[in-house]
Amino acid sequence: MTVSLCVREPYRVDGDRQFRFGVVAAAAVPGIGALSPVVSSDGAAAMGGHIDDTLGNRLSRYLADGVAIDDAVEALLGAEDVASRRGRQLHGVGRSSCVTVSGRDCVAAADRDGDHYTAAGTHLPNEAALDAMVDRYTGAAFGDDPLAERLIDALTAAREVGIDSRRGDSDSDGPLTVGSAAVRVVTTESTDDRRFYNDLRVDASESPITDLETTYNAALLGYEQTVDAYGEPDAPSSP
């Protein structure tokens, strides 16, 4: 149903440590951007499997209260009944830790974790999609391009391998043809300008990842046009 990547990128501005948190996700059903990505200045997480639309808000509150993300996820899932917990996939990164959980009832599920990222998916034809996504991201991690752009590129690498056996396209005869994709990036650095390209969704499309990339390019152009027309209050490092 869902493939997703969560990342944490620390950096410094004027000697102060800052963080970029980001999530990119795609699904073979509409509306994944409204449910799966959970991103704040305290961390980034994504959900798959049986998604509870209240789980993200509760996780965000835990993180805002200073609870480590692995402890927060353990507490949230531990409070659920066994049947619900077995159907959950939840992964993410906080300021100092990461977590990956794939319940035993998640179909064709897999996950990955590193120092500053986690990746996961369900209904995967194989695990090569996760490896391709992680390899593409880690090859460009902490790069000069905006994080949102690098996340979308990583998602594109997963799509090129194949991310959902139920999706109907040129490579599969699955029953689902309409999917969705989303990217969201939050930085702890205080800025006076809104970066339009950091929070984008394609809610229903037969080519959601391609459309997300197109939407990102348009949003980046719109941001650059706005800066050219009205100026930029500050010149912070690129998120």
What is the pTM for the complete model shown?
0.91
- For Cα atoms 40, 141, 197, give the angle at the middle one, nearest 5 degrees: 50
CA distance 32 to 23: 12
* Strand order through the sheet with 199-205: 110-113, 117-121, 2-13, 16-27, 179-187, 199-205
CA distances from 52 to 23, 209, 219 (A): 18, 23, 30
The answer to whether 138 and 114 have CB atoms below 8 angstroms apart is: yes
What stretches of 145-207 show up as alpha helix (H) in DSSP? 147-161
d(CA 209, CA 121): 15
Highest mean pLDDT among 46-55, 167-176, 207-216: 207-216
* 192 — pLDDT class (breaks 50, 70, 90): low
Region 83-106 average pLDDT: 96
| Of 19, 18, 20, 59, the residue nearest 38 (C-alpha) | 59
Q: Which residue has the higher pLDDT, 125 or 7?
A: 7
User: pLDDT digits over 200-210, tens only?
Assistant: 999 999 999 99
* CATH fold of 2-230: Glutamine Phosphoribosylpyrophosphate, subunit 1, domain 1 (3.60.20)
**Average pLDDT over all residues of the chain:** 91
Q: How high is the pLDDT of residue 233?
A: 56
Handedness of CA 211, 213, 216, 218 (dihedral sign): negative
Task: Indicate the pLDDT class of residue 170, thresholds 50, 70 and 90.
Answer: very low
Distance CA 232, CA 44 (A): 27
pLDDT digits (tens, 9 = 90+) for 73-90: 999 999 999 999 999 999
Q: What is the pLDDT of residue 44?
A: 98
Please give the structure tokens belonging to residue 159: 């799509």
| Least reliable range by pLDDT among 154-163, 188-197, 229-238 | 229-238
**pLDDT (mean) for 186-195:** 82
Which amino acid, 109? A
